[in-house]
Amino acid sequence: MPLSRTAPPTTSAEPVTAKARIYAMLDTDGDGIASRHDYFVRIDRAQRATGRADDDPLVIAARATGERAWAAMDANGDGVMTYEEYIAWVDAEKFDNICQYALGALFDLADADQDGALDRAEFTSLREALGNRVDNAGAAFDALDGDGDGRVGRAEYLAAIRAYVTGDDSPMGNVLY
């Protein structure tokens, strides 16, 4: 049976919502469907970007939290999450109980010195691994680095993504995705 290939809106007449941008980022191969492979390739990219081995505790944690997140997102177990399924699923409660842990584990992978913050290079590497636009990584970093110390903390990173996903004011808004 063919899969539904419903993608987020892309016409210029219709505004691109935060959820549509996130869904497009999750669809790493651009085929209109966020598949299990699409989701886990992001973890693989983050692992490669950081040079960590398969048995590194941070890689194991990222895969475990990724498994939990994917199981929640793909509730019917068919290996794909259509745009409609994503929109119906994602909300503040899901972010607080599922997504923040998966995203936090990926942040931890990128945090080379494990000090709880990313410098500009680590942040850019993480963005690229996750499939975010790299051409605006500087603007996204600057938006998050509110105190100008050249570092983005884990809590502020996750709070900004949560705000963006839930429609609240996010310091990095459209430059994140």
Give the residues of the chain that fall short of pLDDT 70: 1-16, 169-177
Instruction: Provide the pLDDT for residue 175.
Output: 65
The 10s digit of each residue's pLDDT in 12-55 is 334 467 788 888 888 989 999 999 999 999 999 999 999 999 99
User: Do 143 and 136 contact (CB within 8 A), yes or no?
Assistant: no
> Which residues are CB-neighbours of 149 under 8 A, at least 6 positions away?
none
Kindly report the backbone phi and psi dihedral angles of residue 133, in degrees, each rounded to the nearest multiple of 5, phi listed first. -65, 135
Nearest alpha-carbon partner for 142 in 164, 123, 161: 123
Q: Which two tokens stand for residue 35?
A: 């598949």
Q: Provide the 3-class DSSP secondary structure of residue 153.
A: strand
Domains of the chain (ranges, CATH numbers): 18-176 (1.10.238.10)
Burial class of residue 14 in the structure, from the number of CB atoms within 10 Å of its CB (0-12 exposed, 13-18 middle, 19+ buried) = exposed
Handedness of CA 121, 134, 172, 45 (dihedral sign): negative
Instruction: Provide the pLDDT for residue 42.
Output: 92
Asked whether the whole model's pTM tops 0.75, one would answer yes
| Beta strands at 80-81 and 34-35: parallel, antiparallel or unpaired | antiparallel
Instruction: Provide the pLDDT for residue 11.
Output: 39
> Which residues are CB-neighbours of 52 under 8 A, at least 6 positions away?
58, 59, 109
User: Do 160 and 171 contact (CB within 8 A), yes or no?
Assistant: yes
Report the alpha-carbon distance of residue 42 to residue 39 in Å, rounded: 6
Q: Which two tokens stand for residue 145?
A: 């680095």
Q: Which two tokens stand for residue 97?
A: 């109980």
